[in-house]
């Protein structure tokens, strides 16, 4: 029996990357069998979200970049803790090994779905909470050990003050952290509200940055490490001829290249 779901606004947006990963897994672009199984297990009309092929590709490239970085991080820092914020119905914790503990955080309704649909894995913990209900941090033990903090498809739904406070609290809790997160440009924040899938969910996109220094200005303890672009050749080369051309063409324009990218930061109090 398929699982009936009822999600609202920002919660419903988790279905967009899930569906994108399922479709791109079918085509061999990414390796995520859990996404396809989860889509089949859900009683939901995905056609209603009007998820374009281009958006499916974008979501899958983002997933691939963060997945590969996480694997490399755990190879370099075995038995580290991974904290994934706004995890949705992503079973990344089951696709990757080598961690000491993996913590996924999302709304209570989403965590309830995760526990019904996704596999149980040793050393995995789910926390049911909005990321801005700061009391959830009381459920996480502070640590000076190396910690990877993932915020995929999350921060754009917060306002600037919430993003700043989130980083500040996480740095206090995990002074030896590495952050990987995606962000829109400010122009994209203004324009993306017209995107059909987001309009269907009614989700409100609030936050974007034009320069990595915006993060440092918010939290001086943050140290910029790297920007990864979704139009980078190493990811584009995997696509079909049509989408290779489209993404390469988009990447030749700075505005399009900067529209949606992935940042990596560490903490100034980092312990090597």
Tell me the domain boundaries of the chain.
3-267
The DSSP bridge partners found for residue 267 are 222
Q: What's the pLDDT band for 13 if we cut at 50, 70, 90?
A: confident
Question: How many other β-carbons are positioned within 10 Å of the β-carbon of residue 30?
Answer: 21
Q: Is the pLDDT of residue 271 over 50?
A: no
What is the model's pLDDT at position 71?
96
Mean pLDDT, residues 47-67: 86
The beta strands (E) that lie in the chain are given as: 3-4, 42-43, 81-85, 101-106, 124-128, 147-151, 177-184, 222-229, 260-267
What is the model's pLDDT at position 196?
65
Mean pLDDT of the chain: 89
What is the model's pLDDT at position 272?
46
Q: Is the pLDDT of residue 219 over 50?
A: yes
| % helix, strand, coil for the chain, step of 5 | 50, 20, 35
Task: Give the whole-number percent of the chain exceeding pLDDT 70.
Answer: 92
Task: Give the whole-number percent of the chain exceeding pLDDT 90.
Answer: 58
For domain 3-267, give the CATH number: 3.40.50.150
Q: What's the pLDDT band for 161 if we cut at 50, 70, 90?
A: very high
């Amino acid at each position: 029996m398929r699982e009936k779901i009822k999600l609202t606004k920002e919660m419903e947006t988790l279905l967009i990357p899930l569906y994108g990963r399922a479709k791109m897994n079918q085509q061999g672009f990414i390796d995520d069998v859990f996404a396809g199984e989860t889509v089949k297990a859900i009683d939901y009309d995905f056609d209603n979200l009007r998820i374009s092929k281009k958006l499916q590709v974008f979501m899958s490239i983002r997933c691939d970049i963060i997945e590969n970085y996480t694997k490399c991080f755990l190879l370099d820092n075995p038995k580290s803790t991974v904290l994934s914020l706004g995890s949705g119905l992503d079973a990344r914790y089951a696709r990757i090994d080598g961690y000491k503990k993996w913590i996924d955080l999302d709304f209570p309704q989403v965590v309830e779905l995760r526990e019904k649909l996704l596999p149980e894995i040793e050393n995995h913990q789910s926390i049911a909470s909005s990321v801005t209900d700061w009391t959830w941090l009381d459920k996480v033990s502070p640590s000076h050990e190396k910690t990877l903090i993932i915020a995929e498809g999350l921060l754009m739904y917060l306002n600037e003050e919430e993003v700043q406070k989130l980083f500040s609290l996480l740095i206090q809790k995990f002074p030896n952290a590495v952050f990987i997160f995606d962000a829109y440009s400010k122009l994209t924040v203004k324009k993306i509200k017209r995107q059909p899938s987001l309009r269907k969910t009614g989700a409100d996109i609030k936050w974007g940055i034009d320069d990595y220094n915006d993060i440092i200005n918010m939290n001086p303890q943050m140290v910029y490490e790297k920007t990864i672009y979704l139009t980078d050749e190493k990811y584009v080369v995997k696509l079909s001829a049509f989408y290779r051309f489209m993404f390469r063409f988009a990447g030749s324009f700075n505005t399009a290249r900067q529209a949606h990218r992935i940042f990596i930061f560490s903490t100034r109090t980092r312990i090597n």
